[in-house]
A and B are shown apart, each in its own frame.
Chain A
């Protein structure tokens, strides 16, 4: 550790360059990943809004409707199922008709179909549910906005893929830049490395300080990047809060874990920063491995 700190001090320009590029990349990754998580959680929230409305034939017994409801609830794919019986459907109709008595005359609850309003946990389940419902006896019509759902899924996919390509490009660029800078450091210590080799140093002994040095610089850079990002969020928070005024919470479901993204909270920011640190450490490790493999072993 001490040796690595001395080496950082001995090559200040290379170390500073490594640090600056990593602060920049860390900041970019944090902005892009946080922004993406915001967009994905917003889409997730919108995705769960589209629902299936299934209308039954007026003569369908309630027991059959309840059986279907139980089955869907048991599947774990729905977030809400609302049963509207004939009487409730009639009440809705009356509300919508308002003061127009002509529309209400000669109508009775018997002519209105009972229905189920189903909200899915994920939009991808809607197609599957629709297919299931169409096969059930007593089902008259199944309605859901297939085009909207497909478009939302497509947007989500495009955003995810774009971010993966962008972060992948950033990672590759960073690896190449860091590997080049570490190569400079190795070149500057060529004589010393030659002495180590003649004294019987193993390649692990020679390369270990370069790895420690890289990890120290990376950790410091990520700390600086995260601090800058934190200040940025703090500065932008009031504007963001007024922009997202209508949205109480934004969440992302990761298996059983529900990650609250909005309102901003320490857990979310810690997870994003820790993930970025991990990614940067991997990038740093790969860069050092490439440089040391090429020039030392």
Chain B
């Protein structure tokens, strides 16, 4: 589902964000990306989205193994329609209510309007917001706003869920509520979460890829090294 082969990504200012990074994430796997700030976690997620192009190496994403480094325009949009993204700052649209925020993900995919209502209700039910349909982001708590973002990421059958510090702005109790939603996706979607919350990573015992200054230093499944 996601494959990095000797990927090196550099920015215009000469900084190398990733250096010869290789890993595979199979379909429906659950992976944590950990490391200090500046280790390259966000760069990995952004390059999966096609926002950063590798200087060398290949990145393949999605069911059809799209080579991310070579696509743009419509193909890039189609790739992104397979991916749901959750941000630390939620990135939900303030003037749209909960229902409309989730609906955006469906209209972008061109899903039939007859499926809007059941699909939106289904994903909102999975995050526990089925009774807050017509409330606006300003009326929701931070945790609830993040749930809307997760519901939007799940809407339309997006198979890859990427989350960049999804609990960075949340208190410990809400953090665990959000993580529970993610862990419920185990075995159903491919989930990649970038975080530096060691408590969460250690407690959930999922595959963990550790990055340090752009280098992959370990790739552990529970307690044993796979690569």
Whether, in the assembled complex, A10 has its beta carbon less than 8 Å from a beta carbon of chain B, the answer is: yes
Interface 1/0 per residue, B150-184 and A, CB below 8 Å: 00100000000000000000000000000000000
Contacts known (A203-B73, A205-B108); A198 close to B80, Cβ less than 8 A: yes
Contacts known (A10-B95, A205-B108); A199 close to B152, Cβ less than 8 A: yes
Whether, in the assembled complex, A110 has its beta carbon less than 8 Å from a beta carbon of chain B, the answer is: no
Whether, in the assembled complex, B79 has its beta carbon less than 8 Å from a beta carbon of chain A, the answer is: yes
Judge whether B104 and A200 touch: CB under 8 Å: no
Whether, in the assembled complex, A195 has its beta carbon less than 8 Å from a beta carbon of chain B, the answer is: yes
Contacts known (A196-B104, A196-B108); A201 close to B77, Cβ less than 8 A: yes
Whether, in the assembled complex, A191 has its beta carbon less than 8 Å from a beta carbon of chain B, the answer is: yes
Task: Tell me what chain A mostly uses at the interface: helix, strand, loop, or mixed.
Answer: helix
Judge whether A202 and B93 touch: CB under 8 Å: no
Residues of A within 8 A of B79 (CB): 200
Within 8 A of A (CB), among B66-122: 73-74, 77-83, 85, 91-93, 95, 104-105, 107-109
Residues of B within 8 A of A198 (CB): 49, 80, 85, 91
Bound CA–CA A6/B95 (angstroms)? 10
| Closest Cβ–Cβ distance, residue B100 to chain A (whole Å) | 10
Interface 1/0 per residue, A1-19 and B, CB below 8 Å: 0000010001000000000
Residues of A within 8 A of B92 (CB): 195
Whether, in the assembled complex, A192 has its beta carbon less than 8 Å from a beta carbon of chain B, the answer is: yes
Bound CA–CA A10/B95 (angstroms)? 9
With an 8 Å Cβ cutoff, the count of chain B residues facing the other chain is 21
Residues of B within 8 A of A197 (CB): 80
Judge whether B77 and A202 touch: CB under 8 Å: yes
Residues of B within 8 A of A201 (CB): 77, 108
Judge whether A195 and B91 touch: CB under 8 Å: yes
Bound CA–CA A192/B93 (angstroms)? 6
| Closest Cβ–Cβ distance, residue B7 to chain A (whole Å) | 20
Bound CA–CA A191/B93 (angstroms)? 8
Question: What residues of chain A have their CB less than 8 Å away from a CB belonging to chain B?
Answer: 6, 10, 191-192, 194-203, 205
Question: What residues of chain B have their CB less than 8 Å away from a CB belonging to chain A?
Answer: 49, 73-74, 77-83, 85, 91-93, 95, 104-105, 107-109, 152
Q: What are 13 A-B pairs with beta-carbon distances under 8 A?
A: A194-B91, A195-B92, A198-B80, A198-B91, A199-B81, A199-B85, A199-B105, A200-B78, A200-B79, A200-B82, A200-B83, A200-B109, A205-B108
Query: Besides A200-B78, A200-B83, 19 other CB < 8 A contacts?
Result: A10-B95, A194-B91, A195-B93, A195-B104, A197-B80, A199-B80, A199-B105, A199-B108, A199-B152, A200-B77, A200-B80, A200-B81, A200-B108, A200-B109, A201-B108, A202-B74, A202-B77, A203-B73, A203-B77
